[in-house]
Structure 1
Amino acid sequence: MKKSYFSLLIILLLGICLRLYDLGSESLWVDEVSTVKNSKLSFVDGILDPFNNHPLHGILLHFWIRLFGDSEYSVRFPSVVFGVFSIIMVFFLGRQLFDEDAGLISAFLLSVSVFNISFSQEARAYALFVLLCIFSYYCLILFLESGKRIYSIANAIASGLCIWAHPYGVFILLAQYSSVLVYALRFPRVFRINRNWLKTQVITAIICFIYIFVMFSKGDGMFSGTAWIEPPSSNDVINSFNLFTGLTYAYLFPYPADVNLLYSQTLYCFWIVLIIASLYSLFVYSKKAKECRRPTDIFNIFLLASWFFTLTIFPLLISITFKPIFFSRFLIAATPVFYMLIAHGISSIGSEKTRNLILMILLFSSLCNARIYYVNQINEDWRGVADFVDSIADENDRIVFNNCYLIDSFNYYSNNTGNNHTYCISNASDLDDDLSFVLNDPTNQRLILVW
């Protein structure tokens, strides 16, 4: 036990370092600025803001900013905390579902996942969403195994807050309810436990009702603000796979293109073999559980499968048949399941040398991926743009933006906000009229275009 906690501590230190490194170096991008702007509003106005689809994160950031300010480092730090606690929780969840080794490997994979690192370095709600999902499932499993009401209450609160963290939380609720239904049908003798669980779901219902009321009062419902999402394609599915595995950043800088191509193709093959082997180990595990009359182990597999597929397949089907809501980064709450699947496969390998070799390959590739992530300029450099414009602009100059939503990003960094006239092109079809209006304004000394 002490050895496992020491290993977890090492994994945590690695995860903390990867999430704190270079945290405030890049400018806030447009969505982060929107989050910060929303968090500076009054408590009620922030929740009712039509552009706020992640109200729980906004509420937490509202109070955080009042204590620690709104610098890049400060507003991103809560996401670091959520990301670190996710590593801890996935260890306990993996250990509860499988064994201690699977829990440690799950924590390791989550700690070095560039997908999760990147959103643990953003002033957005995704890291919080991941943490709530893991915690909710952990409490659900503890409740089903022990029947203690405290776990049911914790699960009810966490599940309800998942929706407040991200609209995809509705799929988490759907997955959990389907799992509990299967559990009730499979183990009818513990129906009393399910009745207690249903009582505590009143808490979830109240939390969800308040959220739905707030979102529909804005006009567009739960998935408001998704008009920019395009119908999904095969590239979106491939991109999601690349994000889960880290293959999005599979480069060996500064080696030539042919070396990088060989490296990325080798990693693709490695991950495909690893996934197939992990699925096979899960099949063997369920078969042994059936032979040894351990039905709860089979149920745990179903629990994970429903979590993963409900969070990935359902949005895809809805996007194809109804309204596009599928977007790769929204799937981040499915990564813990993916990593637990891989972790179980690795921990099932009999040879310790083989296990260690696989873990070393994963560590090496993840650190290489992280290096590419840190080196590349991912966000638009609004800090540099604002500094440059401030250095050349006079009070009679007009600053023209090609999109209205860019003005907030500029104003966040500009020291001369209010000294210059700003104007934005609201619609591309009105470009000629808008430019004519700006050019014919006699008060404009110069035009500075931010395009």
Structure 2
Amino acid sequence: MPFLKKYNISDDKLIVFFILVLASVLRLYNFWNLPFMHDEFSAIIRSQYDNLSDLIELGIKTDSHPAGVQIFIYYWIKIFGIHEWSLKLPFIICGIISVLLVYKIAKMWFGSESAVFSALAIAVLQFTIFYSQLARPYSPGLCFVLLSTLYWTKLVFRKEYNKTNIILYLLAASIATYTHAFSLFFVFIQGITGLFFLKGKVNYRYIFINLLIVIFYIPHIQIFITQMQRGDIGGWLAKPNINFIPDFFSYTFHYSQIFYFAIIVSVYFLSTSSKNRKKGANKFRLISLLWFTITFLTAYLYSVYRHPILQFSTLLFVFPFIIMLAFSYVANLKTNIKYIFIVGITLVGVLSLVTTRQHYHIMYNQGFDGIVNNISEDSKKYNIVNPTIVLQAPNQKMFEYYLEKNNLDNNYFKIVDGKLSASLDNLISNKKPKILFYGWADYENLNTVAYLKDNFKYILNKESFFNSEYFVFSDTLIDEYISKDIEQNHEIVDSSNEFIFNSHRPGFSKPLEIQTDSLKLNKFSVINVIASINKMNSNTDALLVMDILDSKGKSLWWSASKINSFYHDSTETKVYHSKRIYENYPISKGSVLKAYIWKQDSNFLQVESIEFYISHIQPIEFGLYKSLTP
């Protein structure tokens, strides 16, 4: 191209420019309308302290992440206030810079062709886009891990011990240690790795530089020790299973067989059509594989033998090196071949991002803002001035941000810790609302949904979001209504018109037993049980238990609700327990579902019946991490 030659612009520079523009568009598209998620709200709420000392003691030591990003958010909010776009922008910029750094590292390690395809993959994958759009430690952690690697390579393999390289390596590695536990771990294994490739006097310089990184970390050691004593990241993760790595790569490649095929074909064809003769490439292939493997095994073993910490985001900081490894054999391509594969990967990656993963629909319509927006619209639709609103979330300040933004009253009914209470029952009994708006967010239990379905005749509207649901309940048919989604009902009652439990003594009620093979279950099914109780005390110690046992009688998963959480003064009390089966699907053949009351004290308890039904959640509720197909 004459224009490119005139201004000395090479094909590679043009391609890199295209990749950076693509990465920017995919991350910055409509970013001013990106809503906050739970993790971001958690960081914002923990930044609301008057001084740095309180922030560290109450907002950082109680968390599982290092102090760096939380302190940054603390001061950033003081300057710019709490706005989605202003808080997310620095993290998005880190994500874009990371794409450029992947190119620079891959070019240094394996050559320009390998670098182009490595950077392109990082640019279009939802995994890296999602964590770039999240105001949490992931994007800056990745950025500084990559920056550290760039200058680590110059020191260790190029022996370029000048002031610029030393200072930038120290700065990048030190910031990474303050950003995320696994960017800290990466700096550690990177520093150790360098020792195996150094000889002679240079060794002492390298050791001294890395000792400085340790010294710079000393102010954070007490925070690290306090957080390690907690052991886990909140107790909500399950231990990883043997399918973690296949699931991880399915997720990173958009759960798309077409995208998988495109990447595999690209890697195979591009790698076999030419030979990469880059000097030292095998060392970097080994390093890439070791960094990924060591990080995974460390997190996996810690999760199995101490506390679960392994999740997809854990591997973000070493994921680019696996991508570089995959494309490390690519070299000396003909220009037309290179462009064909760049266009192909771009099209398949972006199309699967938009359609298969529905990233821009799910990410830009989150639960907290989506529920409140629906309440605002439905209040106008049904002409309700003072709507009855019931909201359920880990921290109600998360909803209140969007209520204030939509000029809605903060005086709504709050469900705390997922617990139903007599006051909710009194609200419905005494106020008798014509319409009730209900929303839950962030993996809250579904007991309240079952309760409201049981207490209202109609559902006028329902919307699903990632980790969230919204309902409009009514006893009056104002408009069209939708199904309550109650299927495959079963019930146990005593045929002699007595009770399935009627005693002061501790013990078990007659169980409701169902062969799971007879149920039409899929991974989005929810199992609901309802116990009708005639007599109980407010402090009765008993559980409504749901247990699934395999064909040999071994419990596959067990869960329960405390019946005193549902106590109220009226004669009859209903207890609700609902459980998603997603993480336990598929259920093994020959299994049995048992539902029963387990009483553990001497208070009198009289149970009339236990009822069972199946409902469903929508795929979008897991959609940012899981496949959207049933």
Q: Which residue of 2 aligns with 1:267?
A: 259
Distance 1:52 1:172, change over 3 A: closer
TM-superposed CA distance for 1:393, in Å, is: 7.5
Question: What whole-Å deviation, never above 9, does each CA across 1:252-274 have from its counterpart, x for those lacking one?
Answer: xxxxxxxxxxxx2x433343455
Query: How many angstroms apart in 1 are the aligned matches of 2:220 and 2:408?
Result: 35
Q: Write the deviation string for residues 170-203 of structure 1: whole angstroms up to 9, x where unpaired.
A: 431342133112213xxx3xx3222112112233
User: CA 1:450–1:363 in 2, change beyond 3 Å: closer, same or farther?
Assistant: closer
- What does 1:1-16 align with in structure 2 at a 5 Å threshold? 2-3=9-10, 4-16=12-24
Q: Greater strand share, 1 or 2?
A: 2
Shift of 1:138: 0.7
Unaligned 5+ runs, structure 2: 1-7, 441-630
2:400 counterpart residue number: 411
1:216 and 2:213 are equivalent in the alignment = no
- Scaled by the length of structure 1, the TM-score of the pair is 0.80
**Residue 450 of structure 1 aligns to a residue in which SS?**
strand
Shift of 1:343: 3.4
Specify the alignment match of 2:94 in structure 1.
Answer: 82
Please point out which of 359, 369, 372 is paired with 2:342: 359
Q: State the match for 1:176 in structure 2.
A: 190
3-state secondary structure, aligned to 2:349: helix
Deviates more, 1:67-76 or 1:12-21: 67-76
Q: What is aligned with 2:161?
A: 148
Distance 1:37 1:52 in 2: 15
Q: 1:41-80 residue pairs with structure 2 within 5 A?
A: 41=49, 42-48=51-57, 49=59, 50-51=62-63, 53-80=65-92
Once the two structures are superposed, residues 63-88 of structure 1 have per-residue CA deviations (whole angstroms, 9 ceiling, x without a partner) of 33333332222221111110111122
CA distance in 1, matches of 2:106, 2:176: 20
Q: Which residue of 2 aligns with 1:315?
A: 299
Tell me how far apart the structure 1 counterparts of residues 271 and 187 of structure 2 sit (CA, whole Å).
25
Q: Work out the CA distance in 1 between the residues paired with 2:415 and 2:44.
A: 21
Q: 2: distance between equivalents of 1:337 and 1:267?
A: 19
Among 39, 43, 60, the residue aligned to 1:35: 43
| 1:127 Cα offset (Å) | 1.1
3-state SS, counterpart of residue 247 of structure 1: coil
- State the shift of 1:353 in Å: 4.0
**Distance change in 2, residues 1:236/1:409 (3 Å):** farther
Work out the CA distance in 2 between the residues paired with 1:39 and 1:413: 18
Deviation at 1:321, TM superposition (A): 3.4
Identical aligned pairs, as a percentage? 19
Closer/same/farther in 2, CA of residues 418 and 54 from structure 1, 3 Å limit: farther
- 1:160/1:208 contact within 8 Å kept: yes
Residue ranges of structure 1 left out of the alignment (5+ in a row): 251-263
Q: How does 1:53-132 map to 2 (within 5 A)?
A: 53-132=65-144
Could you report, residue by residue, the CA deviation over 1:36-85 in whole angstroms, capped at 9, with x for unpaired residues? 22344343433441136253222222333333332222221111110111
Q: Is the 8 A contact 2:303 2:310 kept in 1?
A: yes
Distance 1:334 1:277, change over 3 A: farther
Contact 2:63–2:227 (CA under 8 A) maintained in structure 1:
no
Identify the match of residue 180 of structure 2 among 166, 178, 182. 166
For 1:100 and 1:147, the matched residues in 2 are separated by 21
CA RMSD across the alignment: 3.3
Change (3 A) 1:103 1:241: same
Alignment-derived partner of residue 354 in structure 2: 371
- Gap change, CA 1:225 and 1:408, over 3 Å in 2: farther
SS in 2 for 1:268: helix
Greater helix fraction, Structure 1 or Structure 2: 1
Instruction: Kindly provide the amino acid, as one letter, of the partner of residue 414 in structure 2.
Output: Y
**Closer/same/farther in 2, CA of residues 20 and 270 from structure 1, 3 Å limit:** closer
1:238 counterpart = 2:246: yes
Shift of 1:448: 5.8
User: Higher relative contact order at CA 8 Å, sep ≥6: structure 1 or structure 2?
Assistant: 1
Shift of 1:5: 3.0
Residue type of the alignment partner of 1:5: K
- How far residue 309 of structure 1 moved from its aligned partner, in angstroms, is 1.9
In 2, Cα distance between equivalents of 1:443 and 1:204: 63
Q: What is the CA distance between 1:28 and its match in structure 2?
A: 1.5
Q: After TM superposition, give the deviation of residue 418 of structure 1 in Å.
A: 7.8
Match of 1:381 in 2: 367
The 1:90–1:320 alpha-carbon spacing in structure 2 relative to 1, beyond 3 Å, is same
Residue of structure 2 equivalent to 1:337 = 321
Q: Which of 18, 25, 40 is matched with 1:17 structurally?
A: 25
1:389 Cα deviation from its structure 2 partner = 4.7
* Aligned 1:239-318 pairs, distance under 5 A: 239-244=247-252, 246-248=253-255, 250=256, 264=257, 266-274=258-266, 296-318=280-302
Secondary structure at the aligned position of 2:32 is classed as coil
Deviation for aligned residue 1:352: 4.3
Q: Residues 142 and 183 of structure 2 are in contact (CA less than 8 Å); yes or no, is this contact kept in structure 1?
A: no
Q: Give the TM-score, by structure 2 length.
A: 0.59
Q: Secondary structure at the match of 1:60?
A: helix
User: Counterpart of 2:471?
Assistant: none
Aligned equivalents of 2:24 and 2:75: distance in 1? 23
